[in-house]
Amino acid sequence: MWFLTVFPVLLLAIHLPNIKSEWHGDAGPWVIATEGEVWPRPARNWTFDEFYLLRYSNFQILYDGYCDITLRAIHRYTHIIFAHTRSARKVNKNKPKKNFSNDPAFKGFIKTLNIEGPTSDCKDLLPTLYADEHYVLNINRTGDEATLSSETTWGILRGLETFSQLLTPSGSGAYLKIRRQVIIDGPRLPHRGLLLDTSRHYLPLADIRLTLDAMSYNKLNVLHWHIVDDNSFPYQSETYPNLSKEGAYHSSMVYSIANINDIIQYARLRGIWVIPEFDTPGHTRSWGNAYPELLTTCYNSTGQPNGRLGPIDPTKDSVYSFISTLFTEVVQVFPGSYLHLGGDEVPFSCWASNPDIIKYMDSQKLGRNFAKLEEQYIHKVLDIVSALNTTAIVWQEVFDNGVSLPNSTIVHVWTGSWKTELSKITAAGHPVLLSACWYLDHTAEGGDWKKFYVCDPMDFPGFNTSRLMLGGEACMWGEFVDKNNIHPRIWPRASAAAERLWSEFADDLDTAARRLEEHACRMNRRGIPAQPPNGSGFCVV
Amino acid sequence: MWFLTVFPVLLLAIHLPNIKSEWHGDAGPWVIATEGEVWPRPARNWTFDEFYLLRYSNFQILYDGYCDITLRAIHRYTHIIFAHTRSARKVNKNKPKKNFSNDPAFKGFIKTLNIEGPTSDCKDLLPTLYADEHYVLNINRTGDEATLSSETTWGILRGLETFSQLLTPSGSGAYLKIRRQVIIDGPRLPHRGLLLDTSRHYLPLADIRLTLDAMSYNKLNVLHWHIVDDNSFPYQSETYPNLSKEGAYHSSMVYSIANINDIIQYARLRGIWVIPEFDTPGHTRSWGNAYPELLTTCYNSTGQPNGRLGPIDPTKDSVYSFISTLFTEVVQVFPGSYLHLGGDEVPFSCWASNPDIIKYMDSQKLGRNFAKLEEQYIHKVLDIVSALNTTAIVWQEVFDNGVSLPNSTIVHVWTGSWKTELSKITAAGHPVLLSACWYLDHTAEGGDWKKFYVCDPMDFPGFNTSRLMLGGEACMWGEFVDKNNIHPRIWPRASAAAERLWSEFADDLDTAARRLEEHACRMNRRGIPAQPPNGSGFCVV
């Protein structure tokens, strides 16, 4: 983070020109989109009144290196700039040509963006939690070129995204416009995630890829893949193929390991890390289609099995060898050494009904304290995961139920008084993730992104004495979304969380609304069906 | 309605087999879709345990006539059955072949659907309000053929839709299955509409066409096109081209008369009638971009114009000649002799601020009774419309404000205590339309179609002494929807209203949920991105 010491005294200077967007006429009372404002807001930005033009046919991104991530990103952003050029031509259709040479603010054409970043082959490079993402973007150092510098490939990715967001239609033909400015940027928090749930509804691979595209446009860096749950088991294990054969909704609705590798690679090229969740001991109904012996047989009040299966049966040794074998495969499939173990919403009633479990608890002198039984289970699973050199993430109930956890275990807060939770958990020495205020399935009428935007993940007692706040995730639980409505449900609502996780400072809501109006249109232009955030208006794509 | 007298004593017999759907596995606690249940529910249905198979390659719809509407519909439904066959093959993939010949309920193959309906050329036939839509579908009269009979082309359309909905995957290969049954059906109410708002957000033509497709799958027969409003004026008038030139969001966001003709023709082929709304005297801000002189200049408290424009200025004669000329064009473009005049939410404050309007009111001895000024305006516009042989529809405020209206004027109820409103308006002799309980922009979490389903448009004091209840419309106001999210926002939520408008009897909510689960999947299979209505589950398309 060398540049933070180079420019220590410069102040934040976001510039919001008070002009109407090219994309909006004069008629209505709608929210006027900004032009060329970056979402999420960069850490530091010095903007000048001068501007440059960019002509697609006379512009290139120069990079003298071999890293496939950077090379592929340059290809993508070149295409994005081309599409923007085409859209600008549509926006400016039938408008008279401007003579920019009479404009004293016009400083010439930008012909190159120079990438100054890592140049070596990076085929083994994977996104990780504490990877540096800082970058400096300088427009314009010499008059016809811009420079993007970073010590890391991830910083180059973030900077390319920022550069592409600074461009706007010039108001004349297919020229794009960019203001002279210097941006020094890096994330507020290292873990900025989106949860996708492919158990309640299956999501085709194309929709996961589209989601990864959109995540990169919002500088999100973690896909939390809630891949299996009660409802279906689409993960196609090679060790236990019957899990998906019996547990998936349909034979066409599975993710093979080859599919998952493709997704991980697609994500890696966008600086996104994929963390899988295999939630146990609850939320495992679909596991029982092929392996009912893993689950607890529930009994009715007269001591007979009632035909239902409950959570995983923690009293059976065979359960742990099954989980150990399965997780050994899972951590090989999903690189990055993190695994979300779930642990939420474990119903104790089925355990309490089962005579074998009661007998076991008596033998262990656990009384009727089922939280202790859960603790035994979690401890054994944590040991399995630890032996696999993998860090565990658990939902907050595991902590709330008093299960003792090693300090390295990350606790994920999703409900209740989240500020209190974050305080308690960090005070106990655990890293934390916040999702409680970013549940995308909680919808409200109108532009409900504001409720997500006002949530500050650093606003809890003790945050300033702790570096244990890792970040958070917007959660798109899958009960009421499938490929038909998931994209507009996520975007741009998750963008609100993305900004609070990336940007040190939030805007007032009116300013954020204008910026989000531009950002939603930007996503539309790039093929993401983001919904209108602010009411009436339009977007020429 | 000859058949109602032919079968007067037969009772309703909806059959819901208590079996799991082909589209659902055994794992989850989700809503199990029905198989081959029709949405909206037919008036009368006798179902038997026998079934037939349909093999696409050996099936045809036979029609010995010349009506283009019927011929094109046969083409569409043949394609729908083909797509269903393809989907059935996917559903049944990897399943062993069934030997149906051992099944005593199997009665053979259906090879033809015979259409017994109007045979003559129908190039001048347009949907109208009281057009008969009744039909009889007989599966199976002789053993290898089914018969669809109707006295009208519209009845044939509705019956083809029903026939296509009876087919389900047979559980073996690409064969479809259909139960032996007789359906006698016709609508409860003649006006079953959907409102689209293309002013708050522009909708591309392709999305309007897709909406018309989906409407036909729900037996809706009126597209209420709220084409212009405050926000934009996309209707491209030939008489007043500046209205859209200045009032549309963008030059690419207009509907030319040729575009509208295409939509009307597309709708006609599906038995859907297009009624335009040109809402005045409020909701006209976009008119003022090209013609500010039509609108009222608003004044501030010191007697100076405050730079804002209010509703149409009802005191100017030029306003009425403008409207007369515009509406003369509009009623030619939109055949069917109905025009929605709006009349809702007229703000009186701008009129009250304007000294010329005050002077006029004094001269007319209207005092400060602005409702009377509104009445004068509405009367003049009603006279214009009446001279064009067109029936007017107005929003309820016109009636509520005490404007005297001719009995033929249809009043559209959208707010307040709708049962009371319907009673009062029908008691005053006006036909009514109901939308108050079907505002699709009013969203709630989860499967919120139920709130639309429980609304019975006939449940108001006096309905049984009046034939003035014409029907209703689900309203998709456009503030927060554009092409990116409008389809899953409408479907299958509007299907709930469609059933209450078509079907005499409603199902209990659990049964309706199972049927809607099938119907949403059916729409998905046909390319309509309907959202999941009931939570977790899946649909093989």
Beta strands (DSSP E) in A66-215 are 106-109, 112-116, 135-139, 145-149, 168-169, 176-185, 191-197
State mean pLDDT over A187-209: 98
Residues B362, B432: Cα–Cα separation, whole Å: 35
Provide the shortest C-alpha distance from residue A378 to chain B (in Å). Answer: 25
Geometric angle at alpha carbon A266, from A260 and A270, rounded to 5°: 140
Number of domains observed in the structure of chain A: 2
Residues B138, B141: Cα–Cα separation, whole Å: 6
Decide: A73 and A113 in contact? Cβ < 8 Å: no
Q: pLDDT grade, residue B255 (50/70/90)?
A: very high
Contacts of A200 in chain B (CB under 8 A): 535-536
Residues B271, B131: Cα–Cα separation, whole Å: 10
Asked whether the beta carbons of residue A250 and residue B91 sit closer than 8 angstroms, the reply is yes
* Dihedral-angle region of residue B106 (phi above 0 means left; psi in -120 to 50 means alpha; beta otherwise): beta
Asked whether the beta carbons of residue B25 and residue A479 sit closer than 8 angstroms, the reply is no
Q: Which residue of A has its CA nearest to B521?
A: A484
Residues A345, A348: Cα–Cα separation, whole Å: 9
Residues A281 and A411 grouped into a single domain? yes
Provide the shortest C-alpha distance from residue B398 to chain A (in Å). Answer: 25
Whether the pLDDT of residue A22 is over 90: the answer is no
Residues A61 and A203 grouped into a single domain? no
Residue A539 inside a domain? The answer is no
pLDDT of residue B192: 98
Asked whether the beta carbons of residue B540 and residue A250 sit closer than 8 angstroms, the reply is yes
pLDDT of residue A131: 92
Q: Which residue of B has its CA nearest to A285?
A: B27
The CA distances from residue B176 to A522, B54, B91, B205, B522, in Å, are 45, 5, 11, 34, 14
| ipTM for the whole complex | 0.92
pLDDT of residue A20: 29
Peptide bond into B281 cis (omega under 30): yes
Asked whether the beta carbons of residue B28 and residue A230 sit closer than 8 angstroms, the reply is yes
Contacts of B488 in chain A (CB under 8 A): 484-485, 488
The 3-state DSSP class for residue B61 equals strand
Decide: B301 and B210 in contact? Cβ < 8 Å: no
Tokens 């007697």 belong to: B303
Range of the domain at B208: 191-502
Residue B11 inside a domain? The answer is yes
Q: pLDDT grade, residue B137 (50/70/90)?
A: very high
Whether the pLDDT of residue A9 is over 50: the answer is no
Which is nearest to A434 in space by CA: A186, A222, A274? A222
The 3-state DSSP class for residue A342 equals strand
Contacts of A29 in chain B (CB under 8 A): 230
The CA distances from residue A480 to A434, A442, A476, B28, B447, in Å, are 22, 11, 10, 15, 8
Residues A239 and A127 grouped into a single domain? no
* Dihedral-angle region of residue B461 (phi above 0 means left; psi in -120 to 50 means alpha; beta otherwise): beta
Active-site residue flag, A345: yes
Decide: B127 and B133 in contact? Cβ < 8 Å: no
Q: Where is the domain boundary, B133, B164, B185?
A: B185
Residue B8 inside a domain? The answer is yes
The CA distances from residue B187 to B116, B201, B227, B449, in Å, are 19, 32, 27, 21
Average pLDDT, chain B: 92
Q: pLDDT grade, residue B231 (50/70/90)?
A: very high
Asked whether the beta carbons of residue A252 and residue B25 sit closer than 8 angstroms, the reply is no
Asked whether the beta carbons of residue B90 and residue A537 sit closer than 8 angstroms, the reply is no
Q: What value does the CA radius of gyration of chain B take, rounded to a whole number of Å?
A: 25
Q: pLDDT grade, residue A141 (50/70/90)?
A: low
CATH number at residue A333: 3.20.20.80
Decide: B520 and B477 in contact? Cβ < 8 Å: no
Percent of chain B at pLDDT exceeding 70: 94
Q: Which residue of A has its CA nearest to B445?
A: A443
The 3-state DSSP class for residue A310 equals strand
Provide the shortest C-alpha distance from residue A428 to chain B (in Å). Answer: 35
Contacts of A283 in chain B (CB under 8 A): none
Decide: B305 and B299 in contact? Cβ < 8 Å: yes
Candidate from A441, A532, A540 with C-beta closest to B252: A540
Contacts of A24 in chain B (CB under 8 A): 249
The 3-state DSSP class for residue B245 equals helix
pLDDT of residue B29: 56
> Which is more confident, B475 or A402?
B475
* Residue type, position B411, single letter: V
Among A50, A345, A375, A517, the active-site one is A345
Contacts of A86 in chain B (CB under 8 A): none
Asked whether the beta carbons of residue A485 and residue B232 sit closer than 8 angstroms, the reply is no
Candidate from B446, B531, B535 with C-beta closest to A485: B531
Asked whether the beta carbons of residue B201 and residue A446 sit closer than 8 angstroms, the reply is no
Residues A108 and A215 grouped into a single domain? no
Residues A356 and A338 grouped into a single domain? yes
Q: pLDDT tens across B501-541, in order? A: 999 999 999 999 999 999 999 999 999 999 999 999 999 98
Provide the shortest C-alpha distance from residue A21 to chain B (in Å). Answer: 12
**For A173, phi and psi rounded to 5 degrees?**
55, -140
State mean pLDDT over B217-242: 98
Which pair of tokens denotes residue B267?
């709708």
Average pLDDT, chain A: 92
Q: Which residue of B has its CA nearest to A251?
A: B93
Asked whether the beta carbons of residue A30 and residue B231 sit closer than 8 angstroms, the reply is yes
Residue B532 inside a domain? The answer is no
**For B46, phi and psi rounded to 5 degrees?**
-110, 115
> Which is more confident, B22 or A37?
A37
pLDDT of residue A29: 56
Residue B526 inside a domain? The answer is no
* β pairing state of A295-299 and A305-312: antiparallel
| Range with the poorest average pLDDT among A287-291, A320-324, B137-141, B415-419 | B137-141
Contacts of A94 in chain B (CB under 8 A): 251
At a CB cut-off of 8 Å and minimum separation 6, what does B267 contact?
B127, B212, B223, B273, B274
Asked whether the beta carbons of residue A249 and residue B538 sit closer than 8 angstroms, the reply is yes
pLDDT of residue B144: 76
State mean pLDDT over A385-390: 96
Asked whether the beta carbons of residue A480 and residue B538 sit closer than 8 angstroms, the reply is no
Provide the shortest C-alpha distance from residue A471 to chain B (in Å). Answer: 27
Q: pLDDT tens across B82-132, in order? A: 999 999 999 888 888 889 999 999 999 999 999 999 999 999 999 998 899
Provide the shortest C-alpha distance from residue B334 to chain A (in Å). Answer: 26
Candidate from A29, A447, A479 with C-beta closest to B536: A479
CA dihedral (B229, B230, B235, B241) positive or negative: positive
Residues A414, A476: Cα–Cα separation, whole Å: 12
Q: Which residue of A has its CA nearest to B441?
A: A445
pLDDT of residue A370: 94
Among B329, B345, B499, B518, the active-site one is B345
Which pair of tokens denotes residue A106?
């016009």
Asked whether the beta carbons of residue B252 and residue A481 sit closer than 8 angstroms, the reply is no
State mean pLDDT over B245-270: 97
Whether the pLDDT of residue A16 is over 70: the answer is no
* β pairing state of A432-434 and A469-476: parallel
pLDDT of residue B141: 65
Contacts of A531 in chain B (CB under 8 A): 480-482, 484-485
Asked whether the beta carbons of residue A231 and residue B536 sit closer than 8 angstroms, the reply is yes
Asked whether the beta carbons of residue B540 and residue A443 sit closer than 8 angstroms, the reply is no
Residues B152 and B195 grouped into a single domain? no
Provide the shortest C-alpha distance from residue B456 to chain A (in Å). Answer: 24
The 3-state DSSP class for residue A226 equals strand
State mean pLDDT over A276-284: 97
Find which of A484, A521, A540 to mutate to test the B interface (most B CBs within 10 Å of its CB). A484
Residues A495 and A430 grouped into a single domain? yes
* Dihedral-angle region of residue A143 (phi above 0 means left; psi in -120 to 50 means alpha; beta otherwise): left
Asked whether the beta carbons of residue A252 and residue B540 sit closer than 8 angstroms, the reply is yes
The CA distances from residue A197 to A230, A478, A481, A530, B498, in Å, are 11, 5, 9, 19, 32
Q: pLDDT grade, residue A276 (50/70/90)?
A: very high
Tokens 């150990």 belong to: A324
Residues A125 and A231 grouped into a single domain? no
Q: pLDDT tens across A352-375, in order? A: 999 999 999 999 999 999 999 999
| Range with the poorest average pLDDT among A63-72, B204-213, B348-357, B459-468 | B459-468
**For B431, phi and psi rounded to 5 degrees?**
-65, 150
Residues B150, A144: Cα–Cα separation, whole Å: 74
pLDDT of residue A505: 93
Residue B522 inside a domain? The answer is no
pLDDT of residue B143: 67
Decide: B288 and B309 in contact? Cβ < 8 Å: yes
pLDDT of residue A143: 67
Q: Which residue of A has its CA nearest to B229?
A: A28
Residues B86 and B175 grouped into a single domain? yes
Find which of A23, A249, A451 to mutate to test the B interface (most B CBs within 10 Å of its CB). A249
Provide the shortest C-alpha distance from residue B537 to chain A (in Å). Answer: 6
Decide: B393 and B129 in contact? Cβ < 8 Å: no
Decide: B242 and B260 in contact? Cβ < 8 Å: no
Contacts of A30 in chain B (CB under 8 A): 231
DSSP letter assigned to residue B235: B
Q: Where is the domain boundary, A150, A185, A220?
A: A185
Residue B249 inside a domain? The answer is yes
CATH number at residue B155: 3.30.379.10
Provide the shortest C-alpha distance from residue A199 to chain B (in Å). Answer: 8
Length of chain A: 541
Burial A489-528 (b: 16+ CB within 10 A, else e): bbbbbbbbbbbbbbbeebbeeeebbbbbbbbbbbbbbbeb
Q: pLDDT tens across A452-486, in order? A: 999 999 999 988 777 899 999 999 999 999 999 99
Residues A446, B471: Cα–Cα separation, whole Å: 28
Contacts of B230 in chain A (CB under 8 A): 27-29
Q: Is the pTM of this model over 0.90?
A: yes
Which pair of tokens denotes residue A333?
């499939």
Q: pLDDT tens across B288-332, in order? A: 999 999 999 999 999 999 999 999 999 999 999 999 999 999 999
Residue A534 inside a domain? The answer is no
Q: Which residue of B has its CA nearest to A199?
A: B536
Residues A370 and A500 grouped into a single domain? yes
Contacts of B290 in chain A (CB under 8 A): none
Provide the shortest C-alpha distance from residue B29 to chain A (in Å). Answer: 8
* Residue type, position B419, single letter: K
First to last CA, chain B: 37
Asked whether the beta carbons of residue A479 and residue B202 sit closer than 8 angstroms, the reply is no
Asked whether the beta carbons of residue A530 and residue B484 sit closer than 8 angstroms, the reply is yes
Three-state SS string over A28-63 comes to CCCCCCCCCCCCCCCCEEEEEEEEEEECHHHCEEEC
Candidate from B252, B482, B531 with C-beta closest to A532: B482
Whether the pLDDT of residue A27 is over 90: the answer is no
Asked whether the beta carbons of residue A535 and residue B90 sit closer than 8 angstroms, the reply is no
Residues A337 and A365 grouped into a single domain? yes
pLDDT of residue A528: 98
Contacts of A445 in chain B (CB under 8 A): 441-443, 480
Residues B172 and B200 grouped into a single domain? no
